[in-house]
Amino acid sequence: MPRLSVILPVYNAEQYLDRAVDSVLEQRFRDWELILVDDGSTDASPSLCDARAAADRRIRAIHQANAGPSESRNRGMDAAAGEYIAFLDADDRLDRECYARLFEAMDAAGGDCACCGYVPVWEGGSGALVPPPLSPGAHEGDEITRGLVLPLIQDRLRADAVNGMVWRWLFRREEIAALSLRFYGGYYEDEMFLIHYFSRPRRLVCAAEGLYYYYECPTSVTHRYFPGFVPHYLRILSAKAAAVADYALPVRSDWRDNCAWAGLLAAVGNEFAPGGPHGLGTHLKNLREMCAIPDFAHALAHYVPRGMNRRKALVAALLRKRLLLPLCLLYAVKNRG
């Protein structure tokens, strides 16, 4: 049994896959298996996965009909044999020290899970280090609740909101199994995974270094139109409400409005994303319907969003005043640029 199973979902990733796989092969930490889950790719990714598996016995390739990244991760978790599980996206890469440093920090502090910082990368350069959600060292109980779980529920508007993605963490596989944790849907499933995992007793160890390189890829799923985004987000909102009740989390009274505002802003961005609906009349109709949805309507009427970047603040101001035509024109100008 390897100490670590790395799960890497693959969908039409021929351009990036070698970079991601090579970053695992180059790890100073050697006790791993890599599970490549081909999600019905239509490019050369399936053959690349098979070639990588044939070249190294620690790599396995799994092929499935296209079902989305959540099901790919679930399939990988079902196949994993490691004591710990980590996730890697196909268009990202790891620092050579990533897993060695995480295990060393975790073992030295007697932890049972770990996290590191990450570095955003885009064409032409990289950004500043984004630190882990908690300070370097070990954390338990209320520290984790207030530093990680509550921000994932009630502080989703701030420009420095906690990143809810699962790819910079080490999780114990037996704990995932004990909680029957699964990924669902195409957006925000990572947040729910972290909320459930860390609402139980944990000893989390954070490493300060930026050991994961997150590539801002314009063709990734987060930059394309997602049909059914609004009902999916409302399900996430209900799932967060259930978690608040189940774990008796000490949330603020306005948490739902904060989260609803985050969803409304994301829904507006999705409305104008590549591959989405066309036509000014269609956009106006869809925006009016969004603003009338009870959770969104309540947030619009009762909560003033703060702490956002300038672009989101402008969109929020137009939404609060129901200036939907100028909002459409704003996105038209943005998309032309």
104 contact partners, CB below 8 Å, separation of at least 6: none
Q: What is the dihedral of CA 193, 198, 200, 202, to 10 degrees?
A: 130
Count of other CB atoms within 10 angstroms of residue 54:
10
194 contact partners, CB below 8 Å, separation of at least 6: 148, 149, 152, 164, 166, 169
User: Would you call 227 helix, strand, or coil by DSSP?
Assistant: coil
Mean pLDDT per segment of 10 residues, for the chain of length 337 residues?
Answer: 97 97 98 98 98 98 96 98 98 98 98 97 87 97 98 95 96 97 90 97 97 80 82 96 98 98 97 92 97 98 94 96 96 80
Asked if residues 94 and 116 have their Cβ atoms less than 8 Å apart, the reply is no
Greatest pairwise CA separation for the chain in angstroms: 60
Q: What is the pLDDT of residues 169-217, one digit of tens each?
A: 999 999 999 999 999 987 899 999 999 999 999 999 999 999 999 998 6
127 contact partners, CB below 8 Å, separation of at least 6: 119, 120, 121
pLDDT the model gives residue 98? 98
Report phi then psi at 105, rounded to 5: -65, -40
209 contact partners, CB below 8 Å, separation of at least 6: 95, 97, 101, 116, 117, 129
Q: What is the pLDDT of residues 98-131, one digit of tens each?
A: 999 999 999 999 999 999 999 999 887 888 999 9
User: Would you call 183 helix, strand, or coil by DSSP?
Assistant: coil
Q: Please give the DSSP secondary-structure letter assigned to residue 26.
A: T
Q: Which amino acid is it at 269?
A: G
pLDDT the model gives residue 337? 58
Asked if residues 208 and 132 have their Cβ atoms less than 8 Å apart, the reply is yes
How many angstroms separate the CA atoms of 24 and 19, rounded?
9
